[in-house]
Amino acid sequence: MKIELSQPFFKERIAIMGIGLIGGSLARALKRNNSVGKIIAYDQSEEALQKAYELGVADEIYTDPIKAAENADIIILATPITAMGKIVKEIIPYLKEDAVMSDVGSTKGSVLESIKAEVGYLPERFVPAHPIAGTEKHGVENSFDSLFDNRRTLVIPHLENSHDAVRTIHEMWKATGSETEEMGVKHHDQVLAATSHIPHLLAYATVDTLANLDDRAEIFRFAAGGFRDFTRISASDPELWTDICLQNRESILEVLVAYQKKIDLLKHALEDQERETLSKVFARAKHARDNFYKEP
């Protein structure tokens, strides 16, 4: 579903629950485009909240999720995905009748399951979403207002969703400079397993493997650009990515099976010096990369 903005998007109060890189960048982008009156920030960390306030990312800060959410027009969950269900249960009795909730989580099936388990149903005004943007850094101090420019945000409606709430989330993300598309829950988790979760898992595994070799100091000292590019994401928050991998483990395991088969094929090709096999795999990969991936 393509949503066009018929008029400038604006909401008086938007609460961001978890004020890190993504939540902070969302706040900055909305402020940059004059799309929000006040940003209300909730976080368990008083230090993070204070940074957000001092940087001008948040206008009001709370360690109490109810106080942060109770008068908000939109509530965005940017906490760890394992905390989202409990937060929804805690705040939902205190929300405005027309308030819209959403999230920025990298998995969707587990988030919806946790909300349903905690609340007993899927709220019609909770609209799952996932901006496909980020860096290996974390913390509100590393947030910036152009993170979502020309990036995609996936909006993942569930069957109980209010059409008005879905439209509101499309409009909010468009106001950040993002393009929006819709996708089903299961398909989202499968696609993200292949394009984001597996690359992170492999980057961590590569660096951890090399770090345990006897000559690791020399290996890292002479590492060139290709190594830095491939392993950059292994500098991401380990706790965050542990949660993501465990919460989307079924989809990740499906992709890992296919990946392991390809690794085995290459291993045997090297053992048997099968130049043609290696060349064909590399050529197919180059063709796919050149033709299917376009820089945003």
Can you give the pTM of this predicted structure?
0.87
Q: Which CATH number goes with the domain that contains 265?
A: 1.10.3660.10
**DSSP assignment, residue 180?**
E
Out of 143, 163, 183, pick the residue that ends a domain: 183
Q: Are residues 261 and 287 in the same domain?
A: yes
Residues 6+ apart with CB under 8 A from 275: none
State how far the Cα of 283 lies from the Cα of 265, in Å rounded to an integer.
Answer: 15
Question: In terms of residue numbers, what domain contains 276?
Answer: 188-292
Same structural domain, 178 and 225? no
Number of domains in the chain: 2
Q: Does one domain contain both 53 and 166?
A: yes
pLDDT (tens digit, 9 = 90+) per residue, 211-259?
A: 888 777 777 777 667 777 888 888 888 998 999 999 999 999 999 999 9
Contact 147, 31 (CB under 8 A): no
pLDDT in tens, 123-166: 999 999 999 998 888 899 999 999 999 999 999 999 999 999 99
- Residues 108 and 137 occupy one common structural domain: yes
* Residue 59 shares a structural domain with residue 107: yes
Question: Are residue 27 and residue 132 in the same domain, yes or no?
Answer: yes
Tracing tokens 């929000």 back to the chain, one arrives at: 36
Domain boundary, last residue among 183, 217, 243: 183
* Residues 132 and 37 grouped into a single domain: yes
pLDDT in tens, 277-289: 999 999 999 998 8
- Are 119 and 86 in contact, with CB atoms under 8 Å apart? no
Residue 116 is encoded by which pair of tokens? 């349903």
